[in-house]
Amino acid sequence: MFTINIHLRFALMGVLTLGGIALSAAFGFWYGFPFVLIGLGLAVGYVLLGTVQSAAEIMQSGDMDAASKRLGLTLKPEWLYVTNRAYYYMLKGTIAMAGKNTDEGEIYLNKAQSLKLPTDNEKAMIELQLASIKANKGKIKEAEAHMRNLRQLKVTEGMIKNQIEEFDKALKQNKGQLNAANRMGPMRGQMVQRGGAGGGKRKRPPMR
């Protein structure tokens, strides 16, 4: 998809709008109107779409700091078109997670989840990240709930499918280890009690 560099967009917005106003003042309204219209169109596009797409492209290169700065150039996230707003929060959550800010990442991902996303692939990405957060916090049942949501989605991206399968295996293994530890807990207690049972010291064998 064709995109205009955000800094170039800002320059064009200013030059076209101010230039159009100057032409209208000098030669008449209709001479400057097309330039003003294009400038305003660029401004409206910036307000409704923000810097989400260019930030996502930067993120793909692995530069999270640059992606975060680009997202910061969005004027008002609340004014974004609903799909772009969902992407905005999803990117913010991913960046926070990469920076080990789990709680902040969870807040943004929940915001993204509550909004309209175009395909099940994006929904799966959010569910998977939320499941990972819950698992890392030891909230296995909540992680399993996200996995059930994932199974209801029609994921077409091979990479996302592989990540879901790997996480599912890890979650089941982790759950198995927790169950084993829980079973061993009472057994260890019983062993301690048995070892201390008998009502006192053990009798020494008779000496010959």
Burial class (CB in 10 A: 0-12, 13-18, 19+), 91: buried
Q: How far apart are CA 155 and CA 157, in angstroms?
A: 6
Does residue 73 fall inside a structural domain?
A: no
pLDDT at residue number 208: 44
Does residue 77 fall inside a structural domain?
A: no
Cβ-contact 71, 63 below 8 angstroms: no
Of the candidates 160, 93, 174, the one whose C-alpha atom is nearest the C-alpha of residue 128 is: 160
Angle (deg, nearest 10), helices 120-136 and 140-151: 170
Positive or negative: CA dihedral 184, 185, 187, 192: positive
Does residue 157 fall inside a structural domain?
A: no
Degrees, nearest 5: CA angle 40-81-12: 25
| pTM, full prediction | 0.77
Does residue 155 fall inside a structural domain?
A: no
Higher pLDDT, 49 or 177: 49
Does residue 3 fall inside a structural domain?
A: yes
Domain that holds residue 15: 1-49
Q: Which residue has the tokens 């109107």?
A: 33
How many domains is the chain partitioned into structurally? 1
Quick one: pLDDT band at residue 25, thresholds 50, 70, 90?
very high
Cβ-contact 128, 163 below 8 angstroms: yes
pLDDT at residue number 11: 93
Does residue 39 fall inside a structural domain?
A: yes
Does residue 148 fall inside a structural domain?
A: no
pLDDT above 70 covers what percent of the chain? 83
64-101 per-position pLDDT tens digit: 999 999 999 999 999 999 999 999 999 999 999 988 89
Q: How far apart are CA 145 and CA 127, in angstroms?
A: 9
Does residue 191 fall inside a structural domain?
A: no
Q: How far apart are CA 93 and CA 103, in angstroms?
A: 9
Which residues, other chains included, contact 194 with Cβ-Cβ below 8 Å and sequence gap of 6+? none
Region for residue 63 given its phi and psi (left: phi exceeds 0; alpha: psi -120 to 50; beta: otherwise): beta
31-67 per-position pLDDT tens digit: 899 999 999 999 999 999 999 999 999 998 889 999 9
pLDDT at residue number 199: 44
Q: How far apart are CA 97 and CA 105, in angstroms?
A: 5
The CA radius of gyration of the chain, in Å to the nearest whole number, is 29
Residue range 116-127: mean pLDDT, rounded: 90
